[in-house]
Each structure stands twice: as C-alpha cells, then as structure tokens.
Amino acid sequence: MRSARYKVRTQSVALGDDSDLRWVSMIPEGAIFAHGMEWRFDADATDPDNLRFTFDDAVESLERWLADFAPAVAIEHDKNGTAAGYLRRIRVLTASEAAGYGIKQPAPRMIYGGLDLTSPRWAEAFDAGEVPYVSPNIRAWASTERDSAPGYPFAIGEVSFVTIPQIKSQQVPVAEMRGVALSEGGKMTGMTMEDCAAYCADAGLDAAAIEALLAKLFPDMHKAEHEADPDLADAPDAEAAAELEKAAEMEKKEDEALLSENGRLKRELAAAKRAFAASSVRQRLGARKVSAATEAMLADAFLQGGTKFEALLADLGGSKAAPAAAAPVAARTVAPIARTSADANLTECLTNYAKFDALTDDQQWDRICELADKENIAHWQAASWIRYSRMPDSVRERRASGLGK
C-alpha cells in the first residue's frame, strides 16, 4: 500500500484541527421552544434565570464549559451509564460562511458541535446514515464539583442521537452534514483555480492530470480561460481522459482502504485504552463493591485524566493506593451495641445531618434508598447529598431547565 499524501478534497470542510470528530448542528441564533419554554439566543442582554442569552455570551459560556467537562453522547436522552462518545468542541458559522461550505444554515449564526464517537458501533452507525438528528440537552446555570455556585450561564448536559428532535426547523439534518469533515490543516476558505493548479503541481500531479482535474472542479472558469488563450485549447483526448479516470478510481480505492485501516486501528486503540481503564479501576476499587454503571463512570473519569477520577474514588471511600488484602475478622463474642435513636424522615435527614447520623445502619440505608428512588439518582449520590447537604448538579439543572429526563 502506498503512503498517504495530501490531496484536494472538494467535499471536505475544515472546521478545526480534530480530524476524527463528526460535526453536527446544535444551537441556532434566535428563539427555540422546548417543553413549553422559550429560550432566546438573540437577546440584548444575558439573563439565565429567564432563559435569555446574547448569542456571544452563550458561545463563551459553552466554550468554558467544554474546557472543564466533556458532555456525553447519549441515545434518545437515556442516561443509563453508557454513551456513544463525547461532545469535544464547538464552532460558530455565519450563514454566508455555511453557504460557502455547502451547508443550508437556517439561522444567521449557528453553533456546531464536534462529536468524538468512542463507540465503534455508533461511529459506524453515524457514518452509515443511521443517525437522523441530534438533540442537545440545554440548561441554564451549570457547575462542576469545584464550584461553590453555578458559574456557567449556559451549558449542554449531554447530546443525544434522536429520532424526533426538540429543534426541528432550525437544525441541519445529520445527513446533510455528511459532506462536512475535519482536516489536519487550517481552515479551507475556498480555493481559486490558480491555487488549485499550484497545489496539484506541488503534490506531484502531471500537467495532463492537473488539466483534467481543473476542468471538473472549475468548469466555467476553465472553459473561459481556454477560449481566451488558444495555446490551452487542446484538451486531453478520449484515451488520455479514460486513463486519468481509471487512475483516479484506483487512487480513490486506495484512499478508502487506507481510511478503513486507520479507522480499524483507532477503534482497536480506543478498545485497548478502555480495557486498561477498566482494569485500573477494578484494581483501585479493591474489595469495594460498586454497580456496573458506577464502574463505567469511573473508567470514563480515568480516561479523561486530571483529578476527577481521584475525587470520585474519594467520594466512594477509596484511597489513592489499592487496599491491601483484608485481615481475618475475629468472630464476635458479644452482640454489638445498637444505637438508641428515634426514627427521622427524609426531610429531617436532609436538613439536619445529626439526625441522620443518629439512625441505625438499616434506617440510614432506608433514607438513602428513599432519596435515590425519589430523585432517580445513584445511591452514592443520594448518600453524598445527605452527608454534605449539596444537591447533585444533575438534579439542580433538571429542575432549573425542565429539559431531558
């Protein structure tokens, strides 16, 4: 197989330098209605409490949010601990810029999202056209575990692959974005016929091949130039054109084979990283028992790097080193002394931790289960809520926005 080299790709649009991201449209400049609420992204001033944002403020907040957190790519907004990938980057295009890339943008400006699809199954489904729309779970006011108060006026909790999106008439369907890709270079803003000819010559194409390519890419300009310059009037004959077409077809097949091989290697690397993360998480957990969903969440944090994994492990009662083998426990010779306390309901436990701490182990577990079932959250989140009197971000943001589950 020959080595890869750069070529002119007329259906490739560079939105950044992440060549493996899939790009989708998300937030238009203007008003959208979701679940009976109006969100405005063209307001004169930003007022998150009333769901009003200037477009620039929304973009700035979302960029800061993505610098600290990678929202997951869910399926039909189902938050079950698994995801198809992450939202990594955003880009903003004006209507005229989008038109230059062949995108029929329905708004003056639009936020586009770059998706890092880490699931091979969903990456293949996306590329095969099985994902018709995306739906961002938008929220007013968001925060991370490092914030004492919400510091992001606008954020996206997760992005879902959906059949029926909330944003319908102002979203560019995924199928119409399939011609938009990322390159490893800078932004391609359009290429003149002269630039293209120089580019092809630098890439090593012969004169006949360059002439044939220019005739296809710039038919009107190429024809006018030939009519103005008699020395360029002779076009390649039919036999030469057939040879060029055959060579182009072989080149296309080689490119496709190379892309397929690169995709396979990327999937294998992602699977190896995931396996290593899962193994490391199990080793660090030691004898502690957690659910499969919590283990997957810890593996995601491990892959992201930084301090999030250690923080989550600490919340679960873990330590930085794997626990040593448990020492044999001597058999009880006397019955344990039971706590003497009156029972306390969930409201009392949430407002006064001392009352929760005074309960028996069984009573404490009952309160944790009651809160987890009521708010549809994990048991460790419910325990943390009671212990530190801090409502989980997912519950706060769900109550604030009313979007998603």
**Per-residue pLDDT tens for 249-301?**
888 888 787 777 777 777 777 777 788 888 888 888 887 887 887 888 888 88
- Residue 318: CB atoms within 10 Å: 19
Q: Is the pLDDT of residue 334 over 80?
A: no
Q: What is the mean pLDDT of residues 4-16?
A: 36
Furthest CA-CA distance within the chain: 109
Model pLDDT, residue 217 = 63
Q: Is the pLDDT of residue 11 over 50?
A: no
Domain ranges of the chain: 22-177, 346-401
Euclidean distance between CA atoms 144 and 391, whole angstroms: 12
Residues 6+ apart with CB under 8 A from 37: 51, 402
Range from 44-48, 98-102, 148-152, 176-180 carrying the lowest mean pLDDT? 176-180
Q: What is the mean pLDDT of residues 83-94?
A: 94
- Residue 213: CB atoms within 10 Å: 20
Nearest by Cα to 156 from 32, 85, 70, 81: 70
Q: What is the mean pLDDT of residues 121-132?
A: 91
Residue-averaged pLDDT of the chain: 78
Q: Is the pLDDT of residue 342 over 90?
A: no
Please determine, looking at this structure, whether the domain spanning 22-177 carries the CATH number 3.30.70: no
Which comes out higher in pLDDT, residue 115 or 36? 115
Q: Token pair for residue 215? A: 């005739």
Q: Is the pLDDT of residue 149 over 90?
A: no
Q: What is the mean pLDDT of residues 134-154?
A: 90
Polymer length of the chain = 405
DSSP string over 70-134: --EEEETTB-SS--SEEEEEEEEEEHHHHHHTT---SSSEEEEEEEE---HHHHHHHHTT---EE
Model pLDDT, residue 50 = 93
Model pLDDT, residue 146 = 87
CA angle 305–180–300, rounded 5-degree value: 15
What's the pTM?
0.44
Range from 13-17, 85-89, 269-273 carrying the lowest mean pLDDT? 13-17
Model pLDDT, residue 322 = 44
Model pLDDT, residue 188 = 36
Euclidean distance between CA atoms 355 and 364, whole angstroms: 10
Model confidence at 319, in pLDDT bands (50, 70, 90)?
very low
Q: Which DSSP letter does residue 237 get? A: -
Model confidence at 6, in pLDDT bands (50, 70, 90)?
very low
Q: Is the pLDDT of residue 181 over 70?
A: no
Q: Which DSSP letter does residue 160 get? A: E
Which comes out higher in pLDDT, residue 184 or 46? 46
Q: Is the pLDDT of residue 64 over 80?
A: yes
Q: What is the mean pLDDT of residues 294-309?
A: 80
